Structure 1
Amino acid sequence: MVIDEEGNQLGELPTREALEIAQDRGLDLVEVAEKANPPVCKIMDYGKFKYQQQKRKQEAKKKQTVIQIKEVKFRPKTDEHDYQTKLKHIRRFLEGGDRCKVTIFFRGREIVHKDRGLAVLERVKEETQDISKMEQAPRSEGRTMNMMLAPIKK
Protein backbone atom coordinates (compact mmCIF):
# COMPACT_ATOMS: atom_id res chain seq x y z
CA MET A 1 0.00 0.00 0.00
CA VAL A 2 1.55 3.30 -1.08
CA ILE A 3 0.62 6.83 0.07
CA ASP A 4 1.98 9.88 -1.79
CA GLU A 5 3.37 13.11 -0.26
CA GLU A 6 -0.07 14.82 -0.09
CA GLY A 7 -1.64 11.86 1.74
CA ASN A 8 -3.49 10.40 -1.26
CA GLN A 9 -3.54 6.60 -1.57
CA LEU A 10 -1.96 5.26 -4.73
CA GLY A 11 -3.11 1.74 -3.92
CA GLU A 12 -1.15 -1.50 -3.75
CA LEU A 13 1.94 -1.28 -5.93
CA PRO A 14 4.98 -3.53 -6.41
CA THR A 15 8.03 -2.29 -4.51
CA ARG A 16 10.00 -1.49 -7.69
CA GLU A 17 7.20 0.62 -9.12
CA ALA A 18 6.74 2.53 -5.83
CA LEU A 19 10.49 3.20 -5.66
CA GLU A 20 10.48 4.52 -9.25
CA ILE A 21 7.56 6.88 -8.49
CA ALA A 22 9.42 8.18 -5.41
CA GLN A 23 12.67 8.69 -7.34
CA ASP A 24 10.85 10.49 -10.18
CA ARG A 25 9.49 12.97 -7.63
CA GLY A 26 12.91 13.33 -5.96
CA LEU A 27 11.66 11.83 -2.67
CA ASP A 28 12.16 8.66 -0.61
CA LEU A 29 9.95 5.60 -0.09
CA VAL A 30 9.57 5.03 3.66
CA GLU A 31 7.90 2.02 5.28
CA VAL A 32 5.47 3.43 7.84
CA ALA A 33 3.61 0.33 9.08
CA GLU A 34 5.50 -2.89 8.44
CA LYS A 35 3.14 -5.16 10.40
CA ALA A 36 0.08 -4.13 8.40
CA ASN A 37 -1.12 -6.46 5.65
CA PRO A 38 -0.05 -5.27 3.08
CA PRO A 39 2.78 -3.12 4.54
CA VAL A 40 2.12 0.64 4.29
CA CYS A 41 4.77 2.82 2.59
CA LYS A 42 4.76 6.59 2.20
CA ILE A 43 6.51 8.78 -0.36
CA MET A 44 8.20 11.60 1.57
CA ASP A 45 11.41 13.54 2.11
CA TYR A 46 13.03 11.34 4.76
CA GLY A 47 15.55 13.99 5.89
CA LYS A 48 12.76 16.49 6.50
CA PHE A 49 10.72 13.82 8.32
CA LYS A 50 13.63 13.02 10.70
CA TYR A 51 14.21 16.74 11.30
CA GLN A 52 10.55 17.28 12.23
CA GLN A 53 10.63 14.28 14.59
CA GLN A 54 13.71 15.70 16.31
CA LYS A 55 12.02 19.10 16.68
CA ARG A 56 8.92 17.45 18.23
CA LYS A 57 11.12 15.62 20.76
CA GLN A 58 12.84 18.88 21.71
CA GLU A 59 9.49 20.62 22.20
CA ALA A 60 8.24 17.78 24.41
CA LYS A 61 11.46 17.97 26.41
CA LYS A 62 11.01 21.71 26.99
CA LYS A 63 7.52 21.20 28.40
CA GLN A 64 8.41 18.45 30.88
CA THR A 65 9.18 19.36 34.47
CA VAL A 66 12.00 17.78 36.41
CA ILE A 67 11.19 17.14 40.05
CA GLN A 68 14.23 17.14 42.28
CA ILE A 69 14.63 15.71 45.75
CA LYS A 70 15.97 18.29 48.20
CA GLU A 71 17.35 17.16 51.54
CA VAL A 72 17.26 19.00 54.85
CA LYS A 73 19.22 17.57 57.78
CA PHE A 74 18.30 18.00 61.44
CA ARG A 75 19.79 16.76 64.68
CA PRO A 76 17.75 15.67 67.71
CA LYS A 77 19.10 18.72 69.60
CA THR A 78 18.44 21.28 66.82
CA ASP A 79 17.65 24.59 68.49
CA GLU A 80 14.35 26.44 67.85
CA HIS A 81 15.76 29.21 65.62
CA ASP A 82 17.70 26.72 63.48
CA TYR A 83 14.60 24.53 63.30
CA GLN A 84 12.49 27.45 62.04
CA THR A 85 15.11 28.36 59.42
CA LYS A 86 15.24 24.79 58.13
CA LEU A 87 11.44 24.61 58.15
CA LYS A 88 11.36 27.73 55.92
CA HIS A 89 13.71 25.96 53.51
CA ILE A 90 11.46 22.89 53.46
CA ARG A 91 8.39 25.06 52.76
CA ARG A 92 10.24 26.87 49.95
CA PHE A 93 11.28 23.55 48.35
CA LEU A 94 7.75 22.14 48.56
CA GLU A 95 6.15 25.32 47.19
CA GLY A 96 8.64 25.17 44.31
CA GLY A 97 7.30 21.73 43.41
CA ASP A 98 10.26 19.66 44.65
CA ARG A 99 10.09 16.66 46.94
CA CYS A 100 11.88 17.03 50.26
CA LYS A 101 13.76 14.41 52.24
CA VAL A 102 13.95 15.27 55.93
CA THR A 103 16.83 13.54 57.72
CA ILE A 104 17.67 13.32 61.40
CA PHE A 105 21.33 12.50 62.01
CA PHE A 106 22.31 10.96 65.34
CA ARG A 107 25.86 11.36 66.69
CA GLY A 108 27.43 9.37 69.49
CA ARG A 109 25.01 8.37 72.22
CA GLU A 110 22.12 10.35 70.71
CA ILE A 111 21.14 7.13 68.93
CA VAL A 112 19.63 5.93 72.22
CA HIS A 113 17.01 8.71 72.02
CA LYS A 114 15.34 7.86 68.72
CA ASP A 115 12.07 9.14 70.18
CA ARG A 116 13.46 12.71 70.08
CA GLY A 117 14.32 12.35 66.38
CA LEU A 118 10.88 10.94 65.67
CA ALA A 119 9.33 13.88 67.53
CA VAL A 120 11.21 16.34 65.29
CA LEU A 121 10.01 14.53 62.16
CA GLU A 122 6.42 14.50 63.42
CA ARG A 123 6.63 18.22 64.18
CA VAL A 124 7.91 18.94 60.64
CA LYS A 125 5.07 16.83 59.22
CA GLU A 126 2.45 18.69 61.27
CA GLU A 127 3.81 22.15 60.37
CA THR A 128 3.94 21.42 56.62
CA GLN A 129 0.71 19.42 56.27
CA ASP A 130 -1.04 22.35 54.54
CA ILE A 131 1.35 22.19 51.54
CA SER A 132 2.65 18.61 51.63
CA LYS A 133 1.78 15.00 52.13
CA MET A 134 4.02 12.36 53.65
CA GLU A 135 5.28 10.15 50.84
CA GLN A 136 7.44 7.92 53.03
CA ALA A 137 6.89 7.42 56.75
CA PRO A 138 9.84 7.99 59.11
CA ARG A 139 12.19 5.04 59.07
CA SER A 140 15.53 4.44 60.67
CA GLU A 141 18.67 3.39 58.80
CA GLY A 142 21.82 3.11 60.89
CA ARG A 143 22.53 6.51 62.46
CA THR A 144 19.91 8.36 60.41
CA MET A 145 16.15 8.59 60.38
CA ASN A 146 14.45 9.68 57.13
CA MET A 147 11.04 10.90 56.01
CA MET A 148 9.98 11.96 52.50
CA LEU A 149 7.54 14.83 51.88
CA ALA A 150 5.90 15.53 48.51
CA PRO A 151 4.07 18.73 47.51
CA ILE A 152 0.29 18.61 47.23
CA LYS A 153 -0.82 19.16 43.64
CA LYS A 154 -3.17 22.13 43.28
Structure 2
Amino acid sequence: MRAGVTVLQMGRRVPLAIEEEQRRAQRRTMQRQDKSVSINEEITAAQVRLIDEKGDMVGIVDIDDALDQADDLGMDLVEISPNSDPPVCRIIEYAKWKYQQEKQEKLKKRQASKASEVKELKISARISDHDLGVKANNAKKWLEAKNRVKVTMRLRGRERANIELAQQVFDRLAKLLADAGTSEAPKAMGGTVQAFVNPKKG
Protein backbone atom coordinates (compact mmCIF):
# COMPACT_ATOMS: atom_id res chain seq x y z
CA MET A 1 0.00 0.00 0.00
CA ARG A 2 1.43 3.39 -0.94
CA ALA A 3 2.20 5.78 1.92
CA GLY A 4 0.21 8.98 2.11
CA VAL A 5 -2.92 7.65 0.38
CA THR A 6 -6.01 8.72 2.32
CA VAL A 7 -9.77 8.17 2.34
CA LEU A 8 -12.61 10.31 3.67
CA GLN A 9 -14.15 9.09 6.95
CA MET A 10 -16.78 11.09 8.86
CA GLY A 11 -15.71 14.26 7.05
CA ARG A 12 -12.01 13.70 7.79
CA ARG A 13 -9.19 12.34 5.68
CA VAL A 14 -7.85 9.09 7.19
CA PRO A 15 -4.82 7.15 5.87
CA LEU A 16 -5.85 3.93 4.11
CA ALA A 17 -3.63 1.88 6.42
CA ILE A 18 -5.57 3.13 9.45
CA GLU A 19 -8.92 2.59 7.72
CA GLU A 20 -7.91 -0.97 6.85
CA GLU A 21 -6.82 -1.68 10.42
CA GLN A 22 -10.14 -0.35 11.72
CA ARG A 23 -12.01 -2.63 9.32
CA ARG A 24 -9.98 -5.61 10.46
CA ALA A 25 -10.54 -4.83 14.13
CA GLN A 26 -14.28 -4.52 13.57
CA ARG A 27 -14.41 -7.90 11.82
CA ARG A 28 -12.32 -9.58 14.49
CA THR A 29 -14.53 -8.38 17.33
CA MET A 30 -17.90 -8.97 15.64
CA GLN A 31 -20.62 -10.33 17.91
CA ARG A 32 -21.63 -13.93 17.38
CA GLN A 33 -24.38 -15.94 19.03
CA ASP A 34 -22.42 -19.17 18.64
CA LYS A 35 -19.47 -19.18 21.03
CA SER A 36 -18.69 -22.89 20.68
CA VAL A 37 -15.90 -22.11 18.20
CA SER A 38 -13.16 -19.51 18.64
CA ILE A 39 -12.29 -17.26 15.72
CA ASN A 40 -9.78 -14.48 15.10
CA GLU A 41 -8.81 -12.62 18.30
CA GLU A 42 -10.74 -15.14 20.43
CA ILE A 43 -8.00 -17.71 19.78
CA THR A 44 -5.65 -17.69 22.79
CA ALA A 45 -2.86 -20.03 21.63
CA ALA A 46 0.53 -18.48 20.89
CA GLN A 47 1.06 -20.81 17.93
CA VAL A 48 -1.35 -22.71 15.68
CA ARG A 49 -1.16 -25.41 13.05
CA LEU A 50 -2.44 -23.48 10.05
CA ILE A 51 -4.54 -24.65 7.11
CA ASP A 52 -4.73 -22.05 4.35
CA GLU A 53 -7.74 -20.86 2.37
CA LYS A 54 -7.21 -23.63 -0.21
CA GLY A 55 -7.32 -26.35 2.44
CA ASP A 56 -3.57 -27.01 2.29
CA MET A 57 -1.58 -27.57 5.47
CA VAL A 58 0.88 -24.72 6.04
CA GLY A 59 2.35 -25.92 9.33
CA ILE A 60 2.95 -24.35 12.72
CA VAL A 61 3.00 -20.55 12.72
CA ASP A 62 2.68 -17.77 15.28
CA ILE A 63 -0.90 -16.69 15.92
CA ASP A 64 -0.12 -13.14 14.79
CA ASP A 65 1.17 -14.41 11.44
CA ALA A 66 -1.93 -16.56 10.99
CA LEU A 67 -4.22 -13.62 11.79
CA ASP A 68 -2.33 -11.40 9.36
CA GLN A 69 -2.70 -13.96 6.57
CA ALA A 70 -6.43 -14.22 7.23
CA ASP A 71 -6.74 -10.44 7.30
CA ASP A 72 -4.88 -10.04 4.02
CA LEU A 73 -7.41 -12.35 2.37
CA GLY A 74 -10.39 -10.69 4.02
CA MET A 75 -11.24 -13.96 5.76
CA ASP A 76 -11.43 -15.32 9.29
CA LEU A 77 -9.13 -17.57 11.27
CA VAL A 78 -11.29 -20.39 12.65
CA GLU A 79 -10.06 -22.76 15.38
CA ILE A 80 -11.36 -26.08 14.05
CA SER A 81 -9.50 -28.41 16.44
CA PRO A 82 -8.90 -26.65 19.77
CA ASN A 83 -7.75 -29.78 21.63
CA SER A 84 -4.78 -30.41 19.33
CA ASP A 85 -1.31 -29.26 20.38
CA PRO A 86 -0.99 -26.71 18.92
CA PRO A 87 -4.64 -26.13 17.96
CA VAL A 88 -5.54 -26.46 14.29
CA CYS A 89 -6.86 -23.30 12.65
CA ARG A 90 -8.13 -22.71 9.14
CA ILE A 91 -8.36 -19.57 7.06
CA ILE A 92 -11.94 -19.42 5.81
CA GLU A 93 -14.99 -17.18 5.89
CA TYR A 94 -16.64 -18.01 9.22
CA ALA A 95 -20.17 -17.86 7.77
CA LYS A 96 -19.17 -20.32 5.03
CA TRP A 97 -17.49 -22.65 7.52
CA LYS A 98 -20.52 -22.52 9.82
CA TYR A 99 -22.81 -23.39 6.92
CA GLN A 100 -20.62 -26.38 6.00
CA GLN A 101 -20.67 -27.63 9.59
CA GLU A 102 -24.46 -27.35 9.83
CA LYS A 103 -24.83 -29.15 6.50
CA GLN A 104 -22.61 -32.01 7.68
CA GLU A 105 -24.55 -32.25 10.95
CA LYS A 106 -27.86 -32.51 9.09
CA LEU A 107 -26.38 -35.24 6.88
CA LYS A 108 -25.25 -37.19 9.95
CA LYS A 109 -28.72 -36.93 11.47
CA ARG A 110 -30.31 -38.18 8.25
CA GLN A 111 -27.90 -41.10 8.13
CA ALA A 112 -28.59 -41.92 11.79
CA SER A 113 -32.32 -41.75 11.14
CA LYS A 114 -31.96 -44.03 8.15
CA ALA A 115 -29.86 -46.45 10.19
CA SER A 116 -32.65 -46.78 12.77
CA GLU A 117 -35.38 -47.28 10.17
CA VAL A 118 -38.09 -49.85 10.95
CA LYS A 119 -38.47 -52.56 8.32
CA GLU A 120 -41.62 -54.68 8.17
CA LEU A 121 -41.64 -58.44 7.64
CA LYS A 122 -45.02 -60.05 6.91
CA ILE A 123 -45.58 -63.73 7.67
CA SER A 124 -48.56 -66.07 7.92
CA ALA A 125 -49.55 -68.56 10.60
CA ARG A 126 -49.12 -71.49 8.20
CA ILE A 127 -45.87 -70.39 6.55
CA SER A 128 -43.59 -73.23 5.45
CA ASP A 129 -40.10 -73.74 6.86
CA HIS A 130 -38.59 -72.83 3.49
CA ASP A 131 -40.51 -69.57 3.15
CA LEU A 132 -39.80 -68.67 6.76
CA GLY A 133 -36.10 -69.23 6.13
CA VAL A 134 -36.17 -66.92 3.10
CA LYS A 135 -37.90 -64.18 5.10
CA ALA A 136 -35.48 -64.70 7.98
CA ASN A 137 -32.54 -64.12 5.62
CA ASN A 138 -34.08 -60.83 4.51
CA ALA A 139 -34.62 -59.82 8.12
CA LYS A 140 -30.99 -60.65 8.95
CA LYS A 141 -29.79 -58.22 6.28
CA TRP A 142 -31.92 -55.46 7.80
CA LEU A 143 -30.70 -56.25 11.31
CA GLU A 144 -27.07 -56.28 10.20
CA ALA A 145 -27.68 -52.80 8.75
CA LYS A 146 -28.85 -51.78 12.25
CA ASN A 147 -32.51 -51.53 11.26
CA ARG A 148 -35.29 -52.59 13.58
CA VAL A 149 -37.64 -55.24 12.18
CA LYS A 150 -41.38 -55.35 12.79
CA VAL A 151 -42.83 -58.81 12.19
CA THR A 152 -46.53 -58.79 11.34
CA MET A 153 -48.86 -61.77 11.12
CA ARG A 154 -52.48 -61.38 10.06
CA LEU A 155 -54.73 -64.16 11.38
CA ARG A 156 -57.59 -65.38 9.21
CA GLY A 157 -60.73 -67.31 10.10
CA ARG A 158 -60.16 -70.08 12.62
CA GLU A 159 -56.51 -69.00 13.04
CA ARG A 160 -57.75 -66.29 15.39
CA ALA A 161 -58.81 -68.94 17.86
CA ASN A 162 -55.41 -70.64 17.72
CA ILE A 163 -52.93 -68.10 19.08
CA GLU A 164 -50.57 -70.94 20.02
CA LEU A 165 -50.00 -71.62 16.31
CA ALA A 166 -48.95 -68.02 15.81
CA GLN A 167 -46.67 -68.20 18.85
CA GLN A 168 -44.93 -71.26 17.44
CA VAL A 169 -44.17 -69.45 14.18
CA PHE A 170 -42.75 -66.45 16.05
CA ASP A 171 -40.61 -68.81 18.16
CA ARG A 172 -39.24 -70.46 15.01
CA LEU A 173 -38.41 -67.08 13.52
CA ALA A 174 -36.74 -65.90 16.73
CA LYS A 175 -34.40 -68.91 16.63
CA LEU A 176 -33.47 -68.18 13.02
CA LEU A 177 -32.66 -64.56 13.89
CA ALA A 178 -30.95 -65.22 17.23
CA ASP A 179 -27.45 -64.50 15.90
CA ALA A 180 -28.50 -61.17 14.34
CA GLY A 181 -31.08 -59.70 16.69
CA THR A 182 -33.10 -59.93 19.87
CA SER A 183 -36.79 -60.73 19.50
CA GLU A 184 -39.44 -59.15 21.69
CA ALA A 185 -42.52 -61.08 22.81
CA PRO A 186 -45.31 -61.01 20.21
CA LYS A 187 -48.48 -59.07 21.00
CA ALA A 188 -51.96 -59.81 19.65
CA MET A 189 -54.05 -56.86 18.50
CA GLY A 190 -57.39 -58.02 17.16
CA GLY A 191 -56.69 -60.18 14.13
CA THR A 192 -53.02 -59.19 13.98
CA VAL A 193 -49.98 -60.38 15.91
CA GLN A 194 -46.85 -58.23 15.95
CA ALA A 195 -43.37 -58.52 17.38
CA PHE A 196 -40.23 -56.40 17.06
CA VAL A 197 -36.72 -57.70 16.52
CA ASN A 198 -33.93 -55.33 17.58
CA PRO A 199 -30.43 -55.40 16.06
CA LYS A 200 -27.66 -56.54 18.36
CA LYS A 201 -25.46 -53.80 19.74
CA GLY A 202 -21.86 -53.50 18.71
- TM-score if structure 1 supplies the norm length? 0.68
Q: Which consecutive unaligned segments of at least 5 residues does structure 1 have?
A: 1-20, 35-41
For residues 28-74 of structure 1, what are the alpha-carbon distances to aligned partners after superposition, in whole Å with 9 as ceiling and x for unaligned?
Answer: 7214489xxxxxxx7x96xx333212211222334443221111111
**Mapping for residues 3-152 of structure 1, pairs under 5 Å:** 24-25=23-24, 27=27, 29-32=30-33, 48-63=93-108, 64-65=111-112, 66=114, 67-134=116-183, 136-152=184-200
For 1:87, give the aligned amino acid.
Answer: A
For residues 90-109 of structure 1, what are the alpha-carbon distances to aligned partners after superposition, in whole Å with 9 as ceiling and x for unaligned?
Answer: 11211222111111111122
For residues 103-130 of structure 1, what are the alpha-carbon distances to aligned partners after superposition, in whole Å with 9 as ceiling and x for unaligned?
Answer: 1111122111111111111111122111
Q: Which consecutive unaligned segments of at least 5 residues does structure 2 have?
A: 1-19, 36-41, 43-74, 77-92
C-alpha distance in structure 2 between counterparts of 1:113 and 1:123, whole Å: 16
* Structure ranking higher on relative contact order (CA contacts 8 Å, 6+ apart): 1
**In terms of Rg, which structure is larger?**
2
C-alpha distance in structure 2 between counterparts of 1:85 and 1:70, whole Å: 15
Residues 22 and 29 in structure 1, CA contact (< 8 A), matched pair in contact too: no
Who is 1:11 aligned against?
A: none
C-alpha distance in structure 1 between counterparts of 2:164 and 2:21, whole Å: 76
C-alpha distance in structure 2 between counterparts of 1:80 and 1:33, whole Å: 59
- TM-score if structure 2 supplies the norm length? 0.53
What's the secondary structure of 2:125's corresponding residue? coil
